[in-house]
Chains A and B, each alone.
Chain A
Amino acid sequence: MTIGDIKNYLDAKVLTGDELLDKEVHTACGCDMMSDVLAFVKDQAVLLTGLCNPQVVRTAEMMDIVCICFVRGKIPSDDIISLAKDRNIAVLATGMKMFPACGILYENGLAGGASSE
């Protein structure tokens, strides 16, 4: 699945990263606790979150997450978007709630990114 596919499935807006829409995403993680993201996420992931602060981008950066999708209609501030842009991370925003957003991506073949390794 590509970031562009995610945008379409979730009817999301692209806040930054139009040039990254062809990038492949292998796994997904839906989470508001960043320490859990740091514990479990695998490569080439999309992070779905309702948390809206710069640490979401920092966490994504540490984990090489390629795309952040803010759910529940949250729109991050410009400094958050520009931090993600600098780090080549696509940012999407959807009005969908976390559960249906995750469900739609799962149904369309995106695996969960949890790993206990």
Chain B
Amino acid sequence: MSDKLRFHYEVSGEDFTRAGEASSDLKAKLKLMGASPEVVRKVAICMYEGEINMVIHACGGVIDVTISPADILLELKDVGPGIPDIEKAMQEGYSTASENIRSLGFGAGMGLSNMKKYSDEMKIDTVLGVGTTVTMRINM
């Protein structure tokens, strides 16, 4: 048996009401596998914030999850507009989300900072006009 498990999710950017389905599925899987509640919670928050970002900023994308005995790796890839100023985007409270998104309960400028806070390591690769890949590692 391989010591790594992989899951792949396609995130549709067209339907905000469905955002979070991938995170919900992964959370249920991790619970079933017996991961600690703390780890499950951290992964769920990181992935959900990332998934929401994909839907509201980048018309969706793909998420690859790799689970090994030591950690869980989340790779969220989109072909959206890219992030012009990562430093600014990382600041709590800074958001480029529209009024419409705010009225849906997001765009408070907490997404990326939440992802950083709950992951053990986070990396953002972004190219304007090409897309963004956010990689997060959460230790078991």
Contacts and interface: CB of A to CB of B under 8 A. Distances in A.
Contacts of B89: none
Interface size class on chain B is 20 to 34
A88 to B, nearest CB: 12
Given A33-B108, A59-B20, 18 more contacts: A33-B105, A33-B106, A33-B110, A34-B106, A35-B106, A35-B108, A35-B110, A35-B111, A35-B114, A38-B45, A38-B114, A53-B16, A53-B17, A54-B18, A58-B19, A61-B20, A62-B48, A64-B37
A54 B24 CA distance: 12
Interface residues of A, number: 20
A56 B19 CA distance: 11
A36 B106 contact: no
Interface of B: 16-20, 23-24, 27, 37, 41, 44-45, 48-49, 52, 104-111, 113-114, 117
Report which residue of A32, A35, A39 has the largest number of chain B beta carbons within 10 angstroms of its beta carbon. Answer: A35
A108 interface: no
A111 B104 CA distance: 26
Contacts of A58: 19-20, 23-24, 48
A61 B41 CA distance: 10
A63 B48 CA distance: 11
A55 B19 CA distance: 8
Contacts, number: 72
Contacts of A36: 108, 110
Nearest to B40: A64
A38 B49 contact: yes
11 contacts: A33-B106, A35-B111, A38-B114, A53-B16, A54-B18, A55-B20, A55-B106, A61-B24, A62-B23, A62-B24, A62-B45
Contacts of B44: 61-63
A51 interface: yes
